[in-house]
Amino acid sequence: MSAKKAAGGAKKTLRIRQVRSGIGFDKTQKATLRALGLVKIGRVREHPDNPAIRGMAAAISHLVVIEKD
């Protein structure tokens, strides 16, 4: 058994911070912000690092800052 499995296998997360408003952008981009749990500027949410979350964050990269853990 590897050390990572023995320690519980810490999952990687992404910290996503909203830095711009969704006002004036396409409704699908606003919906993506809401789906990620971002409603106000300055809010930070942690999500698991997987392709679905990365794709959502990439679609609104001009509105958010992505920090890797």
The predicted pLDDT at position 9 comes to 59
Per-residue pLDDT tens for 13-49? Answer: 999 999 999 999 999 999 999 999 999 999 999 999 9
Q: In CATH, what is the architecture of 12-68?
A: 2-Layer Sandwich (3.30)
As a residue count, the chain comes to 69
The predicted pLDDT at position 3 comes to 54
SS3 breakdown of the chain: % helix, strand, coil, rounded to 5? 30, 25, 45
- Domain assignments of the chain as residue spans, ordered by start: 12-68
